[in-house]
Structures are given as structure tokens and as C-alpha cells.
Amino acid sequence: MTTALITGASSGIGLAFAERLAAEHHNLILVARNRDRLERVAAVLSSSHGVNVDVLDIDLSHRDQVDLVGDRLSDSNNSVDFLVNNAGFGIRESFIGGNLDAEQQMIDVMVTATMRLSHAVLPGMVKRNSGAVINISSIAGWMTSGTYSAAKAWVTTFTEGLSHELAGTGVSATAVCPGLTHTEFHSRAEMDVSNAPDWLWLDVNEVVDRALHDSRRGRPISVAGRHYQAISLPIRYWRAAQRRAEGALRARVMD
């Protein structure tokens, strides 16, 4: 039986991934800060689906705790076949005059932890010629709204680079770029999105369905919802053309 490790697994998109992968009979390692909530989720998933569920109450804004998760990911005797880097948060404040520590924590959780955990898990996956990394980005990464958007843009570009590097290895890397999704994210960040029209909202399971579909086909970017797919199409087309141009340039430089 394969094993999936999911960060930010106690709620939202991370929880939906946990529920779906448990239903597909993957053993789970769930990572989040709230141990009580993790243990409740673990008990339900274990009893419902007959899978092993371990929990790690970890704060990914702390490097030493990130590396504890990295140690588990690189353990060759207990391989992880599926990594979902989902942990993240947003803040309502503007960058100028805002809380710089909170801005730094966003980078620590969404950029540094994503990089270090991917680096920990991928050598084993490549050696086994199988595995998948899913990094939760956002359509916000194609917008201009401060540190959050910049961090998500990094996640998307980083994942595209991984996908290119992993070509032919049997391992995939996919950046998931959801739009507005029904989770606790906005209420936790104290963001007022009450004026957003209903048609803009995605069900969390729609995001997970699309992510797994695209991951299993080796696609570097996953966008759920036809409206978001349409909005993002020119950007994704341009990025694909850019990758082709980069490949041609790289080949010429390396000749």
C-alpha cells in the first residue's frame, strides 16, 4: 500500500486530499499545527477506510520542524509515494506598513517548506521511478497582490521547473492553481469576499479531482473550473511557449 504525506491536512484543500487519498487506500501522514484536530481526522479516516494514518503536529514556519518532516520524507525504509505541499495562509493587510513577521512566515511556509520538502522526497521517488508531488499554488500567482501572490508565483514556476527536470523519471510534479474555493481560508485571513458572485466559487472536491487527474497525466499545471481555465488559458499558453523557447535556447547554449 502506498503512502501520501499532506501538509495543512487538518482543513480545507489538505483535508479534502486526505479524504480522497484515504478512500483510494493510501496510508497517510498528516501534517498541521493542531494536533487535536489532526487526531480527530486520523481516527475518522482510519476507521472509514482501513488505512494507517500518522499525524505530525508541525509548524512549517520553523526550519527545524520542517526538517523533521523532511527526515520522514527521505527515510528509504518507509518511502512516501505522494507529497502534497498544501500548507499556507493569507493575510488581509497591505505590505506597506503591515506586519513584516507575518509576511516572512508566509514565505517560510509556502516557499521554503515547499522547496525543502520537495528536495527531501524526490531523490527516493526518482530512484524508484515512481511518485508524485503536488504543490498547491493559486491563480493569485498570476496576479499582483503582494507577498502572497509572489509566493504562489514562485510555487508555480518552481513546480514547472521540477516537472521539466523530472521528465522521463516516472515521477510527476504538478502545481494546483485554484481560484476562490469554499474552505476556511478566507475567514481565517479575515478577508471579506461576500461580494464574490456564486459562479466564481469552486467546491473543494472539484479542485482535488482535477489535481489528481492532472497529476496522474504528468501535467505541470492544474486549474479547476471552466471559468478559471478560460481566464488562465492565455497565461498558460504563453508559459508553454516560453518553456519551448527556453528549451531551444538551452539546447543552443549547451551545444
DSSP-assigned beta bridge partners for residue 176: 136, 222
Q: Which residue has the cell 513546480?
A: 159
Spatial neighbors of 159 by CB under 8 A, at least 6 apart, are 133, 135, 137, 173, 174, 175, 220, 221
As given in the structure block, the three cell numbers for residue 16 are 479534502
The secondary structure of 220-245 as a DSSP string is SEE--SHHHHHHHHHHHHHHHHHHHH
Residues with active-site annotation: 148
Spatial neighbors of 11 by CB under 8 A, at least 6 apart, are 32, 37, 183, 184
